[in-house]
A = this chain, B = another copy of it.
Amino acid sequence: MNILLLNPNIRTDITDLMLQVGREAVAPGTTLIPCTAPRGVPYIATRAEAQIGGAVALEMLAERNGTFDAAIIAAFGDPGLFAARELFDVPVIGLAEAAMLTACMAGRRFAIVTFAQALGPWYEECVRMHGLMERCAGIRMLDGSFKQISDVQHEKEELLVELALRAVEENDADVLIFAGAPLSGLAARVAHRIPVPVVDQVIAAVKQAEALLALKMRKATAGTFRRPAAKPTTGLAEALAARLEHRDGSSDCVDR
């Protein structure tokens, strides 16, 4: 089965990092197909960037539609996730969603730890969007700037572990999530220093995509994630326009 690992940001090094972490976790028979946003920002950190990045993600999915069996929107915060789930026929899951729901199976409350103040408000909206506020012990962000986004997990490793320890102690977290694509793989290096289970967002997402595929889930033709009816569009990217206008050759009513 092919799982699209869609990075809605423009840094291919971050895509590579996630690909490397994910590949170690895939089951035999699963192939991860990486792709990186052709336009946007180096890492999505705000509502505005998520609005833009989510729209780009839809274009990327439309262009590659038919070449994958499931897709991961690989930015913590899940830009464009519900839109993609609605618009396409295969399972689409978010990095944040996968990490948080997985964490729920290891404790009552998860804490989210990330590398920049700017990410906090967007992450909180993401938790709320998934209806998981009751399960969230808190979101903690590092202060200060960093040198290189692709290296932030090494540069800040000590500070991130400290922040995680404080989240456990002061927020009564049962589980910990290092959030943000650039922190992928950090869990494996530092989990032994943290006294609660730590969820790696990329591994969680890959295993959840495999779970949805194992369940052979069909595309909804009812409910709120049924494919929207065809609608005329103007000025949109061709593949996305074709998908919205039902000109893309896929049937929206055929079971998968």
A residues adjacent to B (C-beta < 8 A)? 10, 25, 27-28, 38-42, 45-52, 54-55, 58, 80, 82-87, 91, 93, 97-98, 101-102, 104-109, 118, 120-121, 124-125, 129-132, 134-135, 168-169, 172-175, 187-188, 191-192, 195-200, 203-204, 206-208, 210-212, 214-226, 228-229, 231-236, 240, 244, 255
By the criterion CB–CB under 8 Å, are B211 and A169 in contact?
A: no
**Copies held by the complex:** 6
Contact A211 B208 (CB under 8 A): yes
Residue from B39, B129, B191, B211 in contact with A204 in the complex, judged by beta carbons closer than 8 Å: B211
Could you list 16 further interchain pairs (A-B, Cβ under 8 angstroms) beyond the known A52-B240, A124-B224? A38-B234, A40-B236, A41-B231, A48-B244, A51-B83, A102-B215, A107-B220, A121-B224, A131-B132, A131-B134, A168-B223, A173-B223, A195-B226, A196-B221, A197-B219, A207-B207
Question: Which B-chain residue is minimally distant from A176 (CB atoms)?
Answer: B223
A58-B80 Cα distance, complex, nearest whole Å:
15
Pairwise interchain contact A244-B130, C-beta atoms closer than 8 A: no
Which of A10, A28, A131 has the most chain B CB atoms inside 10 A of its CB?
Answer: A131
- A50 to B131, alpha carbons, bound, how many Å? 20
User: How many angstroms between the C-alpha atoms of A118 and B229 in the bound complex?
Assistant: 8
Tell me if B107 and A130 are in contact (CB < 8 A): no
Instruction: Determine if A211 and B211 form an interchain contact, defined as CB atoms under 8 angstroms apart.
Output: yes
**A165 to nearest B CB, angstroms?**
9
Contacts of A222 in B (CB 8 A): 168-169, 195-196
| CB of A128, distance to nearest CB on chain B (Å) | 8
Chain B residues within an 8 Å CB radius of A84: 48
Q: Name the CB-closest residue of B to A98.
A: B105
Is B135 in contact with A131, judged by CB distance below 8 angstroms? yes
Bound-complex Cα distance A219 to B196 (A): 7
A106–B225 CB distance below 8 A:
yes
Is the CB–CB distance between B48 and A58 below 8 Å?
yes
Instruction: Pick the most buried of A52, A223, A231: most chain B CB atoms within 10 A of its CB.
Output: A223
> Considering the chains assembled together, what is the distance between the CA atoms of A246 and B97 in angstroms?
32
